[in-house]
Structure 1
Amino acid sequence: MQVLRALLTFAVVAAGRSEASRGEQPPAVPSPTGIQVTSENFKTTLHWQYPSTSETPHFIVEIKPYNLGSYKIVSTCVNISAHFCDVSREIDDPFASHWLRVKAVVGSQQSDYVETDEFILQKRGKIGPPKLNLSRHGDKIMVDVYHPAFPSVELLPWMEETYLQLKYMVTFWDKKNQSKEVFPGDNCTMYKCSLNIPITAPGSTYCVSAKGSFYDDLMFGAPSEENCIYVPLKQTLSTQYIFIPCVVVILSLSIMLTVCCGCKKLRKKNIKLPKSLLEEASRLQALVLLGNFNHPDFSWKNSMVSCRQSRTLVECMEGNNLSQVIDNPIRGAVILDLMVTNVSELIGDINIGGSLGCSDHALVEFAVLKDMGQAKSKVRTLNFRKANFQLFKESVKRTPWETALWGKRAEQS
């Protein structure tokens, strides 16, 4: 009897030990590690790491909003092989607490869930810097502040309310005296905020930076880069915006009419275009001539030329005291559109950039001096009313354009 009792006691103790050993065994599949939540420009993502396995692991992500009180599956992150999950759509309140967790599934086995700490988008989310665009309109500087790349309202409907509460603090200062002012940029749309800043002292460089504010200053974005614009003296300079493509068209039409109207006169004098135009125009007291002269072979920086026509143009300019003031490429890497003048002091503040419509030529902005005097110049001009336009039309029709332009590029035609 005592022997039977001892055997039963031993069996119970052995069974308890077996259950304890089984309870202490870790899961057959390891859990993800390095789990963290990042949020930039309202795009929230859960990241994790996982060791290499012989079989591809898949993952399941769940989220627990504070107001729900329990976990629910993120439908877009079920049995995914990526080590991240975009949960932006699951967070519809930037001030509410959220918790996330993820587990691994390898074959028919799965790991335990790994949970994140509390996440509040308003506290831990980051907003990138905006982009600025400055332009001058009269005595004001227009500042356009473009938002960072936020998710669309279609993806996150609550972003529409965020745009209504978004404002920028725009810092404006004069580089000459370093005086700074702060202006609110609250005239906002879903793409940008705008404001006009009055210019108090022309003849200086003004700089602007902007920093975003959300939800009544409860969330701030990163400050933008410094962006500057030069404002010339009002009484000396008058800014003129010259659109090179339009000038090219006007100049081309003028040259065609000149060929029709003055070809006989030019043949008698044995004068060639455009050399004759430059020589005639150089007699003006103040000259600014713009247009596409189409000499891609000429390097204006080191005065290297390989074409006879280009060499003729340069000799004509030098012989008539004309200078070319554009030194940056207008189309691609070459300078095709030239600005020729006989008074280099006449031109200032040349800016090249942007384009008009689908044109591949850059726009040119520059300032010209005014109050140059009222001296009269006697320059003979051609009478276009006497031009034989019918002869010009017939000449155009007779020209075999396909043969003449065959195999030539735009710069050569």
Structure 2
Amino acid sequence: MTRLLLGALLLGGIGACVAAHVPEVLAPPKHVKFESVDYKNVLHWTPPSNCSSLHYYVQWKIYGEPQWLDVDGCQGIQKHKCDLSAVTSDPRERYYGRVSAACLTSSKSVWALSRRFNPRGDTIISPPELRLNVTEDAVVVHVKPPRPLVRKLHHRLLYSIYLIDSSGKEEAFELSCCSDKLTLNHLEASGRYCLQAQILVPLQARSSARSAKTCVALL
């Protein structure tokens, strides 16, 4: 009887020891998603709640391909985002990203997967900036599109320029990709005008929002 009790105690102690060394199951990252502005494609996520000191591992793949690939510079990181622009640069392709978390006190989490991402359809196109030079009866409009967009789609861009007078009447002008300047002549002397601009990508049927109004008074 004594031997049986001793054996039970030993087994119980071993079981408790094993249980004490079983690592806690780590929840995966949450809300994994691409956020893309002007073809700068960044994967974002939120951390799981059961560990305060986490490291993340990011992979990507093309839709339809079987192999997942590590993202250079995003292995064992502590920030909650990873720039995948370099590996998701073809606007015609569709991509996935996924993230796994690891904590010193637990095992590595399962992978958390993003929704399918298409740069052409999902990126947000920023409006251009405007710089105005004013004379007595003219306004020279200089258009500056976002630099990443210029690098990606320079020869496919058009600009719509909107001239709004003090009564609210609006007139639209179109500017080709190969020019960044538009001269608006024969305006009313001492008149006050506001201008806005918008980027158009005709081949993709995409456009930006309008820029904020920039207003001037003629000399």
TM range (shorter): 0.7 to 0.9
Runs of 4+ in 1 over 6 A off after TM superposition: none
User: Equivalent residue for 1:335?
Assistant: none
Amino acid at match of 2:94: S
Q: 1:213 aligns with which of 187, 200, 206?
A: 200
SS at match of 1:163: helix
Bigger CA radius of gyration: 1
1:278 aligns with none
Q: 1:63-115, CA deviations, whole angstroms, 9 ceiling, x for partnerless residues? A: 11237453211112111111111111111122321111111122472111111
Cα offsets for 1:215-244 (capped at 9, x unmatched): 535222121111122225xxxxxxxxxxxx
1:33 paired residue number? 30
The CA deviation at 1:197 is 1.5
Alignment of 1:212-231 (within 5 A): 212-216=199-203, 218-231=205-218
Identify if the C-alpha distance between structure 1 residues 222 and 197 changes in structure 2 by more than 3 Å, giving closer, same or farther: same
Q: Does 1:145 align with 2:143?
A: yes
- Aligned partners of 1:162 and 1:215 also within 8 Å: no
Correspondence for 1:182 among 168, 172, 175: 172
Aligned to 1:336: none
Partner of 2:92: 95
Q: Please name the residue that 1:199 is paired with.
A: 186
Cα distance in 1 for residues equivalent to 2:148 and 2:139: 30
Cα distance, 1:76–1:164 mapped onto 2, change above 3 Å: same
**Greater helix share, structure number:** 1
Where does 1:2-401 land on structure 2 (aligned, <5 Å)? 28-53=25-50, 56-66=53-63, 68-107=65-104, 109-137=107-135, 139-148=137-146, 150-151=147-148, 160-176=151-167, 178-188=168-178, 193-216=180-203, 218-232=205-219
Query: Any stretches of 5+ residues in structure 1 without a counterpart?
Result: 1-26, 153-158, 233-413
Kindly provide the amino acid, as one letter, of the partner of residue 122 in structure 1. R
Between the two structures, name the one with larger relative contact order (CA 8 Å, sep ≥ 6): 2
Q: Post-superposition shift, 1:161?
A: 4.2
1:167 offset after TM fit, Å? 1.8
CA deviation string 1:9-33 (max 9, x = no partner):
xxxxxxxxxxxxxxxxxx8222111
Is contact 1:186-1:194 (8 Å) kept? no
CA distance in 2, matches of 1:42, 1:187: 18
Per the alignment, in what secondary structure is the counterpart of residue 169 of structure 1? strand
Overall identity of the aligned pairs, in %: 26
SS in 2 for 1:109: coil
Please give the alpha-carbon distance, in whole angstroms, between the structure 1 residues aligned to 2:68 and 2:163.
48
Aligned partners of 1:187 and 1:194 also within 8 Å = no
1:124 & 1:55 partners in 2: Cα distance?
Answer: 32
Partner amino acid for 1:118?
R
Does structure 1 retain, via aligned residues, the 8 Å contact 2:142–2:182? yes
Equivalent-residue separation in structure 2 for 1:48 and 1:161 (angstroms): 26
Q: Which has a greater percent of strand? A: 2
Q: Does the aligned pair in 2 maintain the 1:42–1:151 contact within 8 Å?
A: yes
Given that residues 28 and 48 in structure 2 are in contact (C-alpha distance below 8 angstroms), is that contact kept between their aligned partners in structure 1? no
TM-score (norm 1): 0.43
Provide the C-alpha distance between the structure 2 equivalents of 1:163 and 1:69, rounded to a whole number of angstroms.
Answer: 33
Distance 2:155 2:125 in 1: 16
Query: What is the CA-CA distance between 1:119 and the residue it aligns to?
Result: 0.9
Gaps of 5+ in 2: 1-23
Paired positions, count = 195
What displacement does 1:214 show? 2.3
Is the CA contact 2:137–2:218 (under 8 Å) kept in the aligned structure 1? Answer: no
CA distance in 1, matches of 2:74, 2:54: 13
Aligned partners of 1:33 and 1:49 also within 8 Å: yes
Structure 2 CA distance for aligned equivalents of residues 166 and 206 of structure 1: 25
CA RMSD of aligned residues (A): 2.5
**Deviation digits for residues 144-199 of structure 1 (CA, Å, limit 9, x no counterpart):** 12223x449xxxxxx534122122111113224x432211122547xxx2211222
1:45–1:213 Cα change, 3 Å: same
Q: Tell me if structure 2 keeps the 8 A contact 1:132–1:144.
A: yes
Match of 1:223, as an amino acid? R
Q: CA offset at residue 61 of structure 1?
A: 0.7
